[in-house]
Amino acid sequence: MAKKRVAVLISGRGSNMVALIEAAKTPAFPAEIALVISNRPDAAGLAHARGAGIATAIIDHAAHGKEREAFERAMQAVLEGSRIDLVCLAGFMRLLTPWFVGRWAGRMLNIHPALLPAFKGLDTHERALAAGVKIHGASVHFVVPEMDSGPIIAQGAVPVRADDTPQTLAARVLEVEHRIYPLALGLVAADRVRIAGGRCLIDGAYDSEAALIVPEI
Ligand code: GRF
């Protein structure tokens, strides 16, 4: 099977993008990172992508004024021009319209630093600590028009420690993010994920361990 051509959309640091680039270096990985798009010209991740020899594009949302769809049409043109099969949002800080999301239904993934459906939105680590949850983590899901929703592909759990600060918790969640994103992309790119009744089946099973990272406590 030909490798799926993946575009990673970033807005900043790009550490999840790096994790995907590293995973895709494995010959057996079913996807190649063909393109990195940033909506911010100053995104730190761009330099890494260029250094890795990956094509990059800057599509500055600010240059498209308030017209969200004009910005998205520009992105869509670049994605189509690069014959992209799958899109991975990785710290991409723009809300996407139903039009764009619809173009990529079942082909666009996002990573969120919490165990969805808990703690959608921003400041997830602060909110997890304030809520007193014992288990926090990260989720990779298909993108639907509603923010941080959509069928969950993979999750990783992170036990909360008594002395955690938002920063220490974020650091451990980020390590898990860097493991579950390549895991989820690999499953999707290998056509092992099917959506049924709003849930993801992997190799036909709902309870596949292939999409879980659960530490020993
Ligand atoms: C990650 O925590 C990701 O889950 C969230 O934004 C952060 C991006 O980090 N959506 P990076 O740019 O991948 O380092």
Mean pLDDT, residues 58-62: 93
Better pLDDT: 189 or 67: 189
Q: What is the mean pLDDT of the segment spanning 74-98?
A: 97
The tokens for 139 are: 């989720």
Q: Is the CB of 156 under 6 A from ligand 1?
A: no
* pLDDT given for residue 193 in this prediction: 98
Pairing of strands 135-142, 199-202: unpaired
Give the nearest ligand 1 atom to 90 CA. Answer: 13
Mutate to test the pocket of ligand 1, among 9, 89, 95, 111 (most ligand atoms within 8 A of CB): 111
Cα–Cα distances in Å, from 112 out to 26, 83, 89, 116, 128? 25, 26, 10, 8, 13
| pTM for the structure as a whole | 0.97
